Structure 1
Amino acid sequence: MMPKTNTMKTTIISCASEKGGSGKTTINIILATNLFFKHAKKVVLIDLDNPQYSVYKKRQRDLKELSEAEQQTAKFYPIEKSTVKELDSIIKTYYGTVDFIILDFPGNLNEEMVKGLLYVEHIFIPFFLDELEINSTVIFYKTLKNNFLENDGRVLRGVNLFFNRYEKIKVNKFAAIRRGFKKSGMPLMQSVVMDRTIYREKYRNTLQPIPESRENGEMELNEFINEVIEILND
């Protein structure tokens, strides 16, 4: 599937969910932008949300916010729009030349999108405090585990779940879910993504990372990104 001669170790990852509105696209953009700008990683973000291509269009809007002079000097990672049929070719173009290929899938993971998951090595599943969302997440995790993780020819190396839109006021409810997941042996990340509008309005930017001195410390966004990096380095 992948070229055998590479000059760089490339890892293919995705924040994915089988439900729309889970926040996966926001996290994929934040991860790509901050891995590139703050962690000096070579990244390509592939938008598979055909035909909307919301990530690709977001890059175009972000570029329009810059002056012509800024556009000429700006450094940024590539964003490619793709169909599942084109994915193999695009991955081969970048594989071995970047640290991370990040795939952004549509909200509804249909049969065609499952084919795209065959390329992914690490999947991060966001979910929030909603009974239907939790049930859907458990089913999605078990599907990945049974069909990808426990497959002898698997590419998938790890699946990690994390709380998205975490609210401190509901800490006891989140803690109860954490205990239940731990008892079931489901891999829930220690870090969480808080319920903050600024993530969607300010930090979901393809050209600018999280500002220095912001979102640092316990239960902040940089802690989540650092834990993702730790998982990928294991």
Structure 2
Amino acid sequence: METKIISIVGEKGGIGKTTLNLILASNLHYAKGKKVVLLDGDNPQYSIYKKRQRELSFLDASEIKELEPYTIERVTVGSIQDTIMKYYSLIDYIILDLPGSLNVEMVKGLLYVEHIFIPFSHDELEIDSTSNFYFTLKNNFLDNNERVLKSVNLFFNKFKLVRKNKFSLLRQQFEKAGIPIMQSVVKDRTIYKEQYRNTLYPIPENKEEGDMDIKKFFEEVEQLSNL
């Protein structure tokens, strides 16, 4: 089995990467039937791992068995390679949730990621830092003859329709600079954190089905990860 190692990453906290990694893992597994392992490398918070433990505490053994939840493991700089090799070629996706800063844990984790997805919003300072982050990854990981990394793609996060002209202009600027931008977006919706951020269930079938809803983003992540 060909395993893809992917991650939604950012160079700072508060951009929603952990929420998106979690929802992505749940929907690939429960809705798409993919074999998924989510590695929580955001030490020492380990917020995804702790959330899974809380959610499991409300269920009995028979309910857990029926759900067949995907595996979530904590990893450190010292354990990440062995943990990846334990699952590699046995599952469809390994999703890494890394710290929101360019520290040792993040750099070590990035050495194993094949496809990176970077969220950003319309904030001017965030746009500049995201551009710099992209070129840092490109120069140090993507343009390396011994690289594992195959692609880096940016996407609009916290997208607002009222600012669609601003986002359209930003898209043109990034494309002109040679920075790959995904076609799909992630809208600014509190429901992602309040209802859909769950390690045991996917987004309901009849929700998020529109052309600009989050399921389209997940579909594009799948497509780009299989190129």
Aligned residues: 227
Cα distance, 1:68 vs structure 2? 5.2
Does the CA contact (< 8 Å) of 2:98 and 2:105 recur in 1? Answer: no
Match of 2:56, SS state, is helix
Quote the Cα distance in structure 1 between the aligned partners of 2:109 and 2:139: 17
**Residue number in structure 2 paired with 1:215:** 208
Quote the Cα distance in structure 2 between the aligned partners of 1:9 and 1:115: 22
Q: Percent identity?
A: 59
Aligned to 1:16, which of 9, 21, 43? Answer: 9
Aligned to 2:142, which of 137, 149, 172? Answer: 149
In the alignment, is residue 177 of structure 1 matched against residue 170 of structure 2?
A: yes
Letter in 1 for 2:176: K
Cα distance, 1:182 vs structure 2? 1.0
Does the CA contact (< 8 Å) of 2:76 and 2:105 recur in 1? Answer: no
**Residue number in structure 1 paired with 2:181:** 188
**Residue number in structure 1 paired with 2:193:** 200
TM-score by length of structure 2 reads 0.97
**Residue number in structure 1 paired with 2:100:** 107
Pairing of 1:55-94 with structure 2 (within 5 A): 55-67=48-60, 69-94=62-87
Cα distance, 1:201 vs structure 2? 1.0
**Residue number in structure 2 paired with 1:40:** 33
Runs of 4+ in 1 over 2 A off after TM superposition: 64-69, 71-74
Aligned-residue Cα RMSD (Å) equals 1.1
Quote the Cα distance in structure 2 between the aligned partners of 1:117 and 1:133: 21
Structure 1: give runs of 5+ residues left out of the alignment.
1-7
Cα distance, 1:89 vs structure 2? 0.8
**Residue number in structure 2 paired with 1:4:** none
Does the CA contact (< 8 Å) of 2:77 and 2:104 recur in 1? Answer: no
Partner deviation per Cα, 1:110-150 (whole Å, 9 max, x = no partner): 13421210100000001111111111110110000011111
**Residue number in structure 1 paired with 2:21:** 28
Match of 1:165, SS state, is coil
Partner deviation per Cα, 1:48-107 (whole Å, 9 max, x = no partner): 011110010011122234355423432110000010111011011111111110000011
Cα distance, 1:26 vs structure 2? 0.6
Match of 1:193, SS state, is coil
